[in-house]
């Protein structure tokens, strides 16, 4: 049993990692990129086959940090630099909750929830941060023909401390992009070492840059697989996760640390960086299962049974409520919190998840609702930019029997409309009492 009542929390978030990439999810060597470290981690804890996120980077990260669906917070999709984006300061972040419980908090990686003073990680509950305020494709800017820094700000890797102004460290170009994940892990290990020595519980949020395009490996991993840059980056990402797991073990903190590894959304669809969602159809920016379902592994030795696999539905908002409860802090009571406490499920005290489904929006549109084994689509966009608009009659799929969502069975199962639409109505009714924050809302 862990010696500390309040465990450390390490949350590693991969970027654009599809369900079918890792060995433990049917990929790995089949994709030209063995992932032994992550596969070993899966055997040591709980692997979820039905962990669900939002359609792309910003909405998922906002849901994780706020415990609320993006339609509520205005974090519907990313916008160009210099324009209002991200979580308003009205939202209470997971880092704020944990910091209030005495946790040391650090963010090393991709933020994408605000790039103006007052919205950087060090303004939102993190004691320290290092990484990129927005997204990885900006590393291409300075190498692009016609790029004009007089009209677009240079992209920077930044850092900041609580109570101080965040500052640029170096320009985020293609060379920096190749080395950033190594830097993030080095800083993460130093943070854990420092707080272990001080015997202070910590929350390490490590949103890696891999596998977001341009998917370029560290020079030490370039050519490692012989299967191209994407596979080389997969192998590097697995190595970086292994470095963190090894450091936790060497510090004697494994039994005192709840460790999560997951992804922010489904795979990239652009060549040559296209990924795979395994048995599911679609990529990110759609309402297909390939967009919603991503890898999720959670380990807590002695508390979470090893080698467990589950297809129960869990949503990214649940991490907010679950981790807050783990730290002994209540979630805000003055607003709807969509996340539910999944700790009893994670610990194996119950076989079933605490949720049966959720409504899924892209921007302001209700695209689908997922309930038990069923998926009801109100719009149809099987691939990015191939949408056919709102359907006159929804499509219904049994995603256990029909994982690729190929055969509409609504006419034979209209009974599913009852519970699915009740879920949607309950969710939308809450908008009246608690109006949604519009996108681009200023603090």
Q: Directed axis angle between helix 229-250 and helix 36-43, to 10°?
A: 50
Q: How confident is the model at residue 85 (pLDDT cuts 50, 70, 90)?
A: confident
Per residue in 334-356, pLDDT (tens digit) is: 999 999 999 999 999 999 999 99
Q: What is the average per-residue pLDDT within 14-30?
A: 97
Any idea where the domains of the chain sit in the sequence? 8-346, 357-433
Least confident of 79-93, 97-111, 189-203, 367-381: 79-93
pLDDT (tens digit per residue) in 306-345: 999 999 999 999 999 999 999 999 999 999 999 999 999 9
| Contacts (Cβ under 8 Å, ≥6 apart) of 190 | none
Superfamily name with CATH number, domain 8-346: Alkaline Phosphatase, subunit A (3.40.720.10)
pLDDT digits (tens, 9 = 90+) for 44-83: 999 999 999 999 999 999 999 999 999 999 998 877 776 7
Distance separating alpha carbons of residues 332 and 350, to the nearest angstrom:
25
Convert the pLDDT of each residue in 387-425 to its tens digit.
Answer: 888 999 999 999 999 999 999 999 999 999 999 999 999
User: Mean pLDDT for the chain?
Assistant: 95
Quote the tokens at residue 414: 């209209």
pLDDT at 4 over 60: no
Count the neighbouring beta carbons within 10 Å of the beta carbon of residue 279.
15
Burial zone of 300 (CB within 10 Å; 0-12 exposed, 13-18 middle, 19+ buried): buried
What the block records as the tokens of 312 is 């129960």
pLDDT over 70, % of the chain: 98
CB-CB contact of 51 with 293 (8 Å): yes
Beta strands at 390-398 and 257-263: parallel, antiparallel or unpaired: unpaired
pLDDT of residue 82: 66
**Has this prediction a pTM greater than 0.95?**
yes
Q: Tens of pLDDT along 114-144? A: 999 999 999 999 999 999 999 999 999 999 9
Phi-psi map region of 228: left, alpha, beta (phi>0 left; psi -120 to 50 alpha): left
Distance between CA atoms of residues 354 and 143, nearest Å = 48
Q: Is 328 left (phi over 0), alpha (psi -120 to 50) or beta?
A: left
What's the fold here for domain 357-433? Arylsulfatase, C-terminal domain (3.30.1120)
Query: Mind telling me the catalytic residues?
Result: 57, 112
């Amino acid at each position: 049993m862990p010696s500390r009542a309040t465990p450390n929390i390490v949350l590693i978030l991969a970027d654009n990692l599809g369900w079918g990439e890792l060995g433990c999810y049917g990929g790995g060597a089949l994709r030209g990129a063995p992932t032994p470290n992550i596969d070993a981690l899966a055997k040591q804890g709980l692997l979820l086959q039905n962990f669900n996120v939002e359609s792309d980077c910003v909405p998922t990260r906002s849901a994780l940090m706020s415990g609320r669906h993006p339609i509520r917070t205005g974090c519907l999709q990313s916008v160009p630099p210099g324009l209002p984006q991200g979580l308003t300061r009205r939202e209470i972040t997971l880092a704020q909750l944990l910091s209030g419980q005495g946790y040391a908090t650090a963010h090393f990686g991709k933020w994408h929830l605000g790039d103006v003073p007052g919205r950087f990680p060090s303004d939102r509950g993190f004691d320290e941060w290092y990484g990129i305020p927005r997204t990885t494709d900006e590393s291409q800017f300075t190498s692009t023909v016609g790029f004009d820094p007089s009209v677009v700000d240079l992209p920077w890797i930044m850092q900041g401390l609580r109570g101080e102004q965040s500052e640029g460290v170096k320009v985020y170009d293609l060379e920096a992009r190749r080395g950033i994940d190594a830097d993030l892990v080095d800083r993460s290990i130093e943070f854990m070492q420092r707080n272990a020595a001080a015997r202070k519980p910590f929350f390490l949020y490590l949103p890696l840059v891999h596998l977001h395009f341009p998917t370029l490996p560290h020079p030490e991993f370039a050519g490692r697989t012989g299967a191209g840059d994407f596979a080389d980056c997969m192998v590097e990402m697995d190595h970086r996760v292994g470095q963190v797991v090894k450091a936790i073990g060497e510090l004697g903190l494994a039994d005192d640390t709840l460790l999560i590894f997951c992804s922010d959304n489904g795979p990239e669809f652009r060549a040559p960086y296209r990924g795979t969602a395994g048995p599911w159809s679609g990529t990110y920016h759609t309402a297909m299962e390939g967009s919603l379902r991503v890898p999720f592994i959670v380990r807590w030795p002695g508390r979470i049974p090893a080698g467990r696999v589950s297809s129960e539905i869990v949503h990214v908002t649940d991490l907010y409520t679950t981790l807050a409860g783990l730290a002994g802090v209540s979630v805000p009571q003055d607003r709807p919190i969509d996340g539910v406490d999944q700790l009893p499920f994670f610990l194996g005290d119950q076989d079933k998840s605490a949720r049966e489904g959720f409504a899924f929006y892209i921007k302001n549109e209700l695209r689908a609702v997922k309930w038990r084994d069923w998926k009801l689509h109100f719009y149809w966009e099987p691939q990015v930019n191939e949408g056919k608009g709102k359907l006159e009659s929804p499509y219904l799929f049994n995603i256990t029997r029909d994982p690729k969502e190929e055969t509409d069975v609504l006419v034979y199962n209209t009974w599913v409309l009852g519970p699915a639409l009740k879920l949607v109505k309950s969710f939308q009714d809450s908008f009246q009492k608690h109006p949604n924050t519009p996108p681009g809302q200023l603090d």
